[in-house]
Structure 1
Amino acid sequence: MDKTITVRGITIGEGIPKVCVPIVGSTIEELGSSALSIRQVAPDIVEWRADYFSDIFDEEQMKKALHTLREVLPDTPVLFTFRTRKEGGEREIAMEDYILLNHRAITSGLVDLIDVEIFSGDDVVQKIISKAHTHQIPVIASNHHFHETPDEETILNIFKKMDFLGADILKIAVMPNSRRDVLRLLSATETASHFSEKPIITMSMSGTGLISRLCGEVFGSALTFGAVGKASAPGQINAEDLKTVLNLIHENLPENTQ
């Protein structure tokens, strides 16, 4: 059974977890400069955090921003993400505008994946996923807990909801308040990786949760986030250091050393 998603030659869900680097510029000039810096690191995927962009609601400026990213990173998959305030983003947004922005990204021909917050309302989520799939764009369903780590059953039920609503990749980020919280997330990740027919992404965001950003290949998380310049979430580490550790773990796993 194929549990992978491939975009621009990058296969999510097999081998070394893919490294995604967010771009958080507020202007087109900042986006271009950040993209040039990121290009030197050669991440697998770039996430445009559109909630940081000052003119995101201006359709022409949004298109210019996407063209800028595509010119600097012509072969790198671009993930479009508008992270709402309630899930740790930079601004609040009405759901009709959230749908509109995602539809503009989908129909632009300039993005390869989109992120949809799973608790935006089932109707909102299904509208965006349906539009994305019409244009052959995979969808990452996401959910973020910035104050706690839910119990394992809750985490698994969120994954099931994401799957039910038609997402292609399932992502949960949590905040650890203890080492046991990190273990709970890793346990849920390992369990979900067995029952899910889709790639899973998990992370425990800061402090002791750092280990979760490094050991995805062991527990079943298919992608991790690293920073070049400004981080977009707590606990992100330098992308080059991240790639070094991921490769080291991969090379020393039993199945890769035989």
Structure 2
Amino acid sequence: MTSKTVNLRKLTLGSGRPKIAVPITGKTQSDIIDQAKTIAEKQPDVVEWRIDFFEGVTNPDQLTDTGTQLRQVLGDLALLTTFRTKGEGGELSLDDRAYFKICADVINGDYTDALDVERFHDEDQVKATVDKAHANNVAVIMSNHDFDKTPSEDDIVSRLTSMTELGADIAKMAVMPQSAADVLTLLNATNRASSLLAQPIITMSMGDLGKVSRISGEVFGSCLTFGAVGAVSAPGQISLDDLRHDLNDLKLG
């Protein structure tokens, strides 16, 4: 089955070379806007705003004001907004109520093109957040991150499948390898899931061992990879310039 594509502004995810996202990890509004200006000059495909780093994230007015300014700086660049919880490698621990309130605040702010929604929260609230996002023309990248290990191939495929069943436009899974065999597990699962599902997927094996997974998406079926301009947001991220060269070297056809 050929994966359908997802459009974010002028960008199409799910066809051709994997696209590159670069994270913004600033703690203050001025830090965030400064990072955005530097990143925008490099013209990645997607900018990911990691709002769990932002000190004003729980204040809806500060969040919306910063998001609106960020939107102006980025112009036509696609924006993915992500609150990564502590348990999945993020900066803050929040209960479900606070987490989903922030998701709603982002959607209501009308500045983002896509929202990251973590898979393993209350399923009714996950579904409600997906519905709210779609009603406001915001795409949903549903995600799960395992910073300790690499689940089995069947488990990875099952988790990605469950995300699409909950309404995700794109399903994302990041895992930590302990061996080369773990990296192969992730790549095999990616290959399987990309052929099974009607939605694009994003996968990666983290750390140095998993770097090969960040550049081989076109072969195995991952539509987006994460690079760095300055600060990295996950172990194993490769600089944007190097990532562009790597992806071009490995392009098909």
User: How far, CA to CA, are the matches of 1:205 and 1:87 in structure 2?
Assistant: 13
1:248 aligns with 2:210: no
Shift of 1:123: 1.3
Aligned pairs for 1:48-63 (under 5 A) are 48-63=49-64
Alpha carbons 1:12, 1:222 under 8 Å: kept: yes
Q: Which position in structure 2 is the counterpart of 1:201?
A: 202
Q: Deviation of residue 102 (structure 1)?
A: 0.9
* Partner of residue 66, structure 1: 67
1:228 and 2:229 aligned: yes
Amino acid at match of 1:176: P
Identity over aligned residues, as a percent?
Answer: 46
- Counterpart Cα distance in 2 of 1:15 and 1:222: 8
Question: For residues 141 and 59 of structure 1, what CA distance do their matches in structure 2 show?
Answer: 22
Structure 2 unmatched runs, 5+ = none
Aligned-partner SS, 2:39: helix
Q: Which residue of structure 2 lines up, in the alignment, with residue 211 of structure 1? A: 212
Q: Give the aligned residue type for 1:178.
A: S
Question: What amino acid is aligned across from residue 147 of structure 1 in structure 2?
Answer: D
Could you tell me how far apart the structure 1 residues matched to 2:106 and 2:218 are?
30
- State the 1:98 CA deviation: 1.2
CA contact (8 A) 2:3 2:197 kept: no
2:177 aligned partner, one-letter code: P
User: Structure 1 residue 197: deviation in Å?
Assistant: 0.2
Are 2:94 and 1:93 equivalent residues in the alignment? yes
The question of 1:139 aligning with 2:140 is answered yes
Please give the alpha-carbon distance, in whole angstroms, between the structure 2 residues aligned to 1:220 and 1:160. 14
State the 1:68 CA deviation.
2.0
Q: What are the superposed Cα offsets for residues 193-214 of structure 1, whole Å, 9 maximum, x if unpaired?
A: 1000000100001121000000
Displacement of 1:2 in angstroms is 5.7
1:183 aligns with 2:190: no
Q: What is the SS of the residue equivalent to 1:149?
A: coil
1:78 matched to 2:76: no
Q: Cα RMSD over matched residues? A: 1.0
- The amino acid of 1:108's aligned partner reads G
Is there any run of 5+ residues in structure 1 with no aligned partner, and where? none
1:148 corresponds in structure 2 to 149
Aligned residue for 1:212, secondary structure, equals helix
State the distance in 1 between where 2:216 and 2:3 align. Answer: 22
Contact 1:23 1:34 in 2 (8 A): yes
> C-alpha distance in 2, partners of 1:227/1:220?
21
Contact kept? 2:3, 2:200, Cα under 8 Å: no
CA distance in 1: counterparts of 2:104 and 2:39, whole angstroms:
26
Whether 1:16 and 2:17 are equivalent positions in the alignment is yes
Q: Deviations over 1:31-62 (max 9, x none)?
A: 01101110121010001100000011111111
Amino acid at match of 1:124: Q
TM (norm. structure 2) is: 0.97
User: In the TM superposition, what whole-angstrom CA distance separates every residue of 1:129-174 from its partner, at most 9, and x where no partner exists?
Assistant: 0100111211001000101000101001101110111111000000
**Runs of 4+ that moved beyond 4 A:** none
Number of the residue aligned with 2:158: 157
Counterpart CA distance in 2 for 1:235 and 1:121 is: 30
Instruction: Give, as a single letter, the amino acid of the residue that structure 2 aligns with 1:177.
Output: Q
Amino acid corresponding to residue 151 of structure 2 in structure 1: P
Is 1:13–1:199's contact at 8 Å kept on the other side of the alignment?
yes
Aligned residue type for 1:240: D
